[in-house]
Amino acid sequence: MPERLNVNPNRMELLKLKRRLVIARRGHKLLKDKFDELMKRFLLVVRESRVLRRQIEEELFEAHQLFALARSEVSTNELEEALSFPKASLELMVKKVNLMSVLVPEFEIKREGWFDCYGFAATPTLFDESLKKFEKLLPKMVALAEKERAVMMLADEIEKTRRRVNALEYVLIPQLEETIRYITMKLDEFERANLTRLMKIKEMVAEEI
């Protein structure tokens, strides 16, 4: 049985509690709808993230294999020399996007220059192919980071919303309903007691007449 609120059992309090109950039920419905929609978005982003991660892992494995084969064809010094003067620079721009009241990050890459900053004659073809694969993977990896961050933030918001829904459904609303029943019962008792007193007074007056 839920605990009732500590209030005076009068009509004013009863009116206030009934208004609170209406607001609490409306808030519960809105939060429940928000929770359901958050879960849909969360599961969608999780599925997209899993598919993208699987693609990246497969392509990354291929790129690493090519790079390992390329390293076997040149010396360590030659490899370090080929990669020691990069001509490409990257800048990661971050902006916030409102997703069901959650400000999730959206990443954008700005690149200047090119990755093929070495002499092609001094390096094997496999080296060029592996770097091109790594270059193509970069936007996908940024997109994956974006989705996984969104998953974490949505999960936090889902947990907060779930706690609020449960607090309304299992604590506040039952307390309000129980308190309203209690006050209504008390007011009915007062009404019956007043009626009994009035009838008694009427009998006494009738006897005196």
What pLDDT is recorded for position 79? 66
Between residues 113 and 18, the one the model is more confident about? 18
Between residues 136 and 197, the one the model is more confident about? 136
Prediction pTM value: 0.78
What pLDDT is recorded for position 188? 87
Lowest mean pLDDT among 19-23, 84-88, 109-113, 178-182: 84-88
Lowest mean pLDDT among 122-131, 159-168, 190-199: 122-131
**Half-sphere exposure (CA, 13 Å, Cβ side) for 30?**
7
Sorted by sequence, the CB contacts under 8 Å of residue 138 that are 6+ apart come out as 90, 109
In terms of average pLDDT, the best of 79-83, 135-139, 145-149, 203-207 is 145-149
pLDDT of 41 higher than 70: yes
What pLDDT is recorded for position 160? 96
Count CB atoms within 10 A of the CB of residue 132. Answer: 14
The DSSP string of 66-129 is: HHHHHHHHS-HHHHHHHHSS---EEEEEEEEEEETTEEEEEEEEEEES-S--S-GGGS-HHHHH
What pLDDT is recorded for position 111? 78
Mean pLDDT of 161-174: 96
Between residues 27 and 6, the one the model is more confident about? 27
Please, what's the b/e burial string for 154-167 (b: 16 or more CB within 10 A of its CB; e: otherwise)? Answer: beebbeebeebbee
What pLDDT is recorded for position 83? 66
Segment 44-86, tens digit of pLDDT? 999 999 999 999 999 999 999 988 887 787 777 766 666 666 6
Phi, psi of 89 (to 5 degrees): -130, 145
Segment 97-131, tens digit of pLDDT? 898 889 999 998 887 766 655 554 456 677 778 88
Fold of 11-200: Helix Hairpins (1.10.287)
Mean pLDDT of 135-157: 93
Task: Quote the CA–CA distance of 204 and 63 in Å, as a whole number.
Answer: 104
CA torsion sign, 196 to 197 to 200 to 206? negative
In terms of average pLDDT, the best of 90-104, 135-149, 191-205 is 135-149
What percent of the chain is modeled with pLDDT above 90? 52
Structural domain boundaries of the chain? 11-200
